[in-house]
Structure 1
């Protein structure tokens, strides 16, 4: 990434930084450790080979998803529904694999709740679909009109598109049908197709903004740049550069390189906690299918497993199950090899336990079906928190 005058840069974007979590409370603006070339490589690898790479894939797949939904709006066929569903699953994979790094742009710009709030607010969605003015504006302008911004997060993002496209974990039948709960559904209406395309466009824009925020807007290509400019969503800072230059004078987000390491580990611990104690536990506790994430597509277990792969990737320094030399894993190993082995084993075990849950998750909301996966996620969280304590000593 091209380096800027960081002192001036961070002064300009000070308002954004207020919402960004810093891992160092010292406010003297001076690094308390010398810059370490090896630590720089670890951070750079995590930023470029994991975070930027994942967000690029997410943005690319979200473009394909929007195109598929727009095509479906123009021509309602089973093949086009099937194609849109396949595109949704592909984009969803990369979003879930990004949730170990929900800090930065995803948090500061509220992109996470904007595109991934659940449960779907079905009653408000029905009202929106019956709002002729809203649908007319969506038909003419997509998501690019003032009224679109008034829609609540429970009406947007992955789950609104999912609801339009899927029934019982499969593409919606072009002629309508009956789902496994005995509910009859009609063929997709033109109103639903218009709404789906507009929401998919908004989802695409937000995903491109994530890529631009971490890769730098000059590095995402002219088509994506134009999309962000037209939507007035240009990021106000380069989060990738901020993390890569951890410890440099003037970097108030990461005053030390260890602060960046802690951010990476904390993000991984946070999603491990969320998978085990919210995504799995909440619907099991309530017994309510509406509390299940991605239940129309029956993609929940894949969601959970990809969340834990996100943890695995940031810890190992690449998008595989094997650590590279320049990784947070290697650094933890240099301090405590036993702990590093325990973390790697815990992550791999969590993925196995999640994928061993009976499917679809929405049909097995019981302690017996979910307790092992929950415990495995909590074990990952506990070990990552040990690592955070260790590297701060």
Structure 2
């Protein structure tokens, strides 16, 4: 993930937080709600496992489609792989609410997030770009004589955080190629994978890279899925439910406030808005950034409400006792304020121009992007206000 936030965003965010600071917060200082808090932990763990299980399943389908393209290049197989990538992102975008708490996805010791969703990506680190047909690992036979899992993992983020060799966005680039158009996504031809009569160079290495990088992606998601599996003795699922209630709630609020404010409003939207650059958008090759934004915002709301509706398997859907229920019992006004803010955020996201790379460059559309940033900042402030009910201060 990108780590630099524009100073203007920080000032604006701080202003909103200051304006919304409660003078006399209602604080839960007893164990009156101990059972409810424990129930919230159970819902959280169920949601995490369900979402990662579905994300793994969707990415296995992507793996199958990418292998089919690499082994038998055709327009139909390229289109199928693109569709599978888009489908996989629909689930993964909802999983990012389980980040920012030193959990299995981004644990400082062995969290695989950097191999899954690292961005923004300097595409010429992996493959050719316009004006440089020899760029990238794929075309560098001297420094990277062998394309295998070790090569890709060891190269990831070497020389800078944009030197991305692994994850969803590496797969995205290998399917779409550079986005050089204002009206469409990237237009990489399937012939880039044809070893006879193909386009570009090193088609066989490109095919090997595609298969290897998607295999790595599946393996990384399998690791996170297993970490949340309640059937596995000693999994993080049991560790999380064993946390004291206050620590668990702090983690939940931290993930929501960081994803809504610092990450989504700041890194993923405002930086691209301020720079008017598609190089700073999340899914720039496929023009899918608007879905990334929507899904991340929905993920925050889902966690607060304790709901997850599976599009993979209805049996994986979750609807349990949640923060929304507890907060409503303590301070219905604050609960309503936050629920209304979620609705405002989603409405403003729906009003943004698509694709996102045009929303941040067309002068008539840029104010709508800033409206989303402002609503997400306010969402972060409202979440901070709700966290105060539990004596949680950030």
| 1:152 has 2:147 as partner | no
Residue matched to 1:282 = 271
Taking the aligned partners of 1:131 and 1:85, their CA distance within structure 2 comes to 26
Native 8 Å contact 1:85 1:171 kept in 2: no
| 1:123 has 2:143 as partner | no
Please list the CA deviations of residues 321-349 of structure 1 after superposition, one character each: whole Å capped at 9, or x if unmatched.
xx966111111111110111111111122
Residue matched to 2:288 = 299
How far apart are 1:82 and its partner, in Å? 1.1
Native 8 Å contact 1:302 1:355 kept in 2: no
Taking the aligned partners of 1:217 and 1:116, their CA distance within structure 2 comes to 27
* TM-score of the superposed pair, with normalisation by structure 1: 0.75
Residue matched to 1:239 = 236
Q: What is the aligned-residue RMSD (CA, Å)? A: 2.7
Residue matched to 1:268 = 256
Taking the aligned partners of 2:187 and 2:76, their CA distance within structure 1 comes to 10
Distance 1:369 1:187, change over 3 A: farther
Q: Which deviates further from its counterpart, 299-308 or 340-349?
A: 340-349
Please list the CA deviations of residues 49-78 of structure 1 after superposition, one character each: whole Å capped at 9, or x if unmatched.
x21110000111111111111111110011
Q: How does 1:185-224 map to 2 (within 5 A)?
A: 189-216=203-230, 218=232
Residue matched to 1:38 = 36
Taking the aligned partners of 1:271 and 1:107, their CA distance within structure 2 comes to 14
Distance 1:187 1:65, change over 3 A: farther
Q: Which runs of 5+ in 2 are unaligned?
A: 1-29, 127-134, 158-163, 178-183, 193-198, 310-317
Q: How does 1:86-97 map to 2 (within 5 A)?
A: 86-97=83-94
Task: Please state whether the residue corresponding to 2:232 is helix, strand or coil.
Answer: helix
Residue matched to 1:344 = 339
How far apart are 1:169 and its partner, in Å? 2.9
In the TM superposition, structure 1's runs of 4+ consecutive aligned residues that sit over 6 Å from their partners are 133-136
Taking the aligned partners of 1:245 and 1:218, their CA distance within structure 2 comes to 15
Taking the aligned partners of 2:74 and 2:201, their CA distance within structure 1 comes to 10
Q: Which of residues 328, 332, 351 in structure 1 aligns to 2:327? A: 332
Native 8 Å contact 2:119 2:169 kept in 1: yes
Q: Which of residues 344, 351, 359 in structure 2 aligns to 1:356? A: 351
Taking the aligned partners of 1:187 and 1:335, their CA distance within structure 2 comes to 63
* TM-score of the superposed pair, with normalisation by structure 2: 0.75
Residue matched to 2:190 = 174
Q: Which runs of 5+ in 1 are unaligned?
A: 1-31, 177-184, 220-236, 247-255
Native 8 Å contact 2:167 2:213 kept in 1: yes
Taking the aligned partners of 2:374 and 2:306, their CA distance within structure 1 comes to 25
Distance 1:192 1:217, change over 3 A: farther
Residue matched to 2:79 = 82
Task: Please state whether the residue corresponding to 1:132 is helix, strand or coil.
Answer: coil
How far apart are 1:266 and its partner, in Å? 1.2
Taking the aligned partners of 1:136 and 1:53, their CA distance within structure 2 comes to 40
How far apart are 1:38 and its partner, in Å? 2.7
How far apart are 1:33 and its partner, in Å? 5.2
Q: Which deviates further from its counterpart, 360-369 or 274-283?
A: 360-369
Distance 1:378 1:349, change over 3 A: same
